[in-house]
A and B are shown apart, each in its own frame.
Chain A
């Protein structure tokens, strides 16, 4: 049994898939920059940006529901901003009778909701970008991102799955031996369970550590000298420039309108 992430959308032949990976990386970074530069409460701009995402998804033939589901992972991180409604001064909406009365301000709520929407928008665009991961690695290299970082991302992408499989095997092995007898409860005390889980985590770490050594050996055996090399994945075509131009113009327009 293997886990599959987003790979089912990687092989399609669409305008978006065919774009130069460097252009895609730059446009996505620009998009996220635009999202973060729009002021709080500029809901018209958020809707425009969302429309832009949906248009891109449509062009890339990615189902919107898939995109929405995947981007939900952003929500827990946005909760870091949960204190804003209580701390930002402004017009009081309501008072919660705990800790001697917490006041919720309208400005704070708008700011919190804005942050929530912004992180969610940024992530959706990033998900569309990730439709061709190996090309992105090449793009990062072409954009002069430090090679050790790229190597880390590349190896993580390859071995995340392997590690996950390994963890699943460990869990399954534990489940297979977690039997019960009539009249007794399975699993022992909480402390004991904790100990088992801790040892499993430790064993996973040790295995990964040993694996990393074997991988490094395999890299050395094929001539690795401290730098991952790659082939050119493509050349800039006029189509890339046109798409980039349109996208940059749209982003600038949205940003400008949201700022007036």
Chain B
């Protein structure tokens, strides 16, 4: 089952007074893979952190047909797999196994189910042999894939990734892109990797200064050099 993200008129101000989101409205259709691009500080990460209620701004958010409200947080967090930009923040447990098991355990699943889920999630990212490893000793590419496994094990309807290819060498990047292509789920991915955007995402959303400034078919947007230049983006 695929689910939908609906964000309407979302405003958010950081505690230090910096306004990060100015009325963002965004709909991601079930099964759609959408890229979120824009310069650093445009509010991409801030927006993503709203999608499972880590940050709470003003406006309405509906995820997987659930209103984002205190009573629904648990269900929404199970439905939205949010992968953070820095895998060292995402992988906080002593071993890979513990990290991938963290989500399922906190969902209250039985031990047998947790073990199967961990197995399946690690297999999905091609890291089955790493279950007893210590995250610190892995390469960035390996850490990124395991970070994705840590949310896949929760079997979310929606995958939200923050700069998945940042800091990867070409081979690790290619592995990751292939992995994202295989995953058949609703996906919202913030990135600076325009070639990946062109290759992987049907739709692209451009953000700048806390606003969505353009949204449409990736091919159309990327073919508009004036638009890209205006928002500090370039294709090659």
A residues at B contact (CB < 8 Å): 2, 4, 7, 11, 133-134, 137, 154-155, 157-159, 161-162, 211, 214-215, 217-225, 229-232
B77 touches A134 (CB 8 A): no
**Does B68 belong to the interface (CB within 8 Å)?**
no
Q: Interface majority SS on B: helix, strand, loop or mixed?
A: helix
Distance in Å: Cβ of A134 to nearest Cβ of chain B? 4
* B101 and A231 form a contact (CB under 8 A): yes
Is B134's CB under 8 angstroms from A7's CB? yes
User: If the complex has contacts A7-B137, A231-B105, are A215 and B89 also in contact, measured as CB distance less than 8 A?
Assistant: yes
Distance in Å: Cβ of B137 to nearest Cβ of chain A = 7
- B: contact size bracket: 35 or more
Cα–Cα, bound, A137→B98 (Å): 11
Instruction: Contacts A133-B94, A158-B94, A225-B106 given; indicate if A217 touches B54 (C-beta within 8 A).
Output: yes
**B74 interfacial by beta-carbon distance below 8 Å:** yes
Closest residue to A225 on the B side, CB-wise?
B106
Is there a chain A Cβ closer than 8 Å to B164's Cβ?
no
Residue B86 at the A interface, CB < 8 A? Answer: yes
| Stretch with Cβ within 8 A of A (4 or more), from B17-25, B107-115, B171-179 | B107-115
Is B151 an interface position by the 8 A CB rule?
A: yes
Whether the pair B103, A222 counts as a contact (CB closer than 8 A) is yes
Contact digits for B90-109, partner A, Cβ 8 Å, 1 yes 0 no: 11111100100111011100
Q: Contact between A218 and B105 (Cβ–Cβ < 8 Å)?
A: no
Known contacts A158-B94, A231-B101; decide if A222 and B77 are in contact (CB<8 Å): yes
Q: Does B78 contact A (CB under 8 A)?
A: yes
Q: In the complex the two chains form, what is the Cα distance from A217 to B84 in whole Å? A: 9
Query: Nearest chain B CB to A23's CB is how many angstroms away?
Result: 20
**In this assembly, does B121 line the interface, its C-beta being within 8 Å of a C-beta of chain A?**
no
CA distance A92 to B74 in the complex (A): 71
Question: Are B106 and A222 in contact (CB-based, < 8 A)?
Answer: yes
- Which interface residue of A4, A211, A217, A222 has the most chain B CB atoms within 10 A? A222
Instruction: Please indicate the chain A residues that have their CB under 8 angstroms from the CB of B114 in the complex.
Output: 231
Please determine whether A230 and B77 come into contact, CB atoms closer than 8 angstroms. Answer: no
Cα A66 to Cα B151 in complex, Å, equals: 39
Which residue, of A4, A219, A223, has the highest number of chain B Cβ atoms within 10 A? A223
A219 contacts across to B, CB distance below 8 A: 92, 102
Query: Would you call B119 an interface residue if the criterion is a C-beta within 8 Å of the partner chain's C-beta atoms?
Result: no
Sample of 24 A–B contacts (CB below 8 Å): A2-B137, A7-B137, A134-B94, A137-B94, A158-B91, A158-B135, A159-B92, A162-B88, A211-B88, A214-B86, A214-B89, A217-B89, A218-B89, A220-B54, A221-B52, A221-B77, A221-B80, A222-B102, A222-B103, A222-B150, A222-B154, A230-B101, A231-B105, A231-B111
Contact across chains for A214 and B84 when beta carbons are under 8 A apart: yes
Whether A229 and B52, one on each chain, are in contact in the complex, defined by CB atoms closer than 8 angstroms, is: no
B49 in the interface (beta carbon within 8 A):
yes
Find chain A residues with CB under 8 A from B90 CB.
218
Alpha-carbon distance between A162 and B137 when the two chains are bound, in angstroms: 10
CB neighbours of A231 from chain B (8 A): 101, 105, 111, 114-115
Q: Which A residue's beta carbon lies closest to that of B84?
A: A218
* Closest residue on chain A to residue B49 by CB atoms: A217
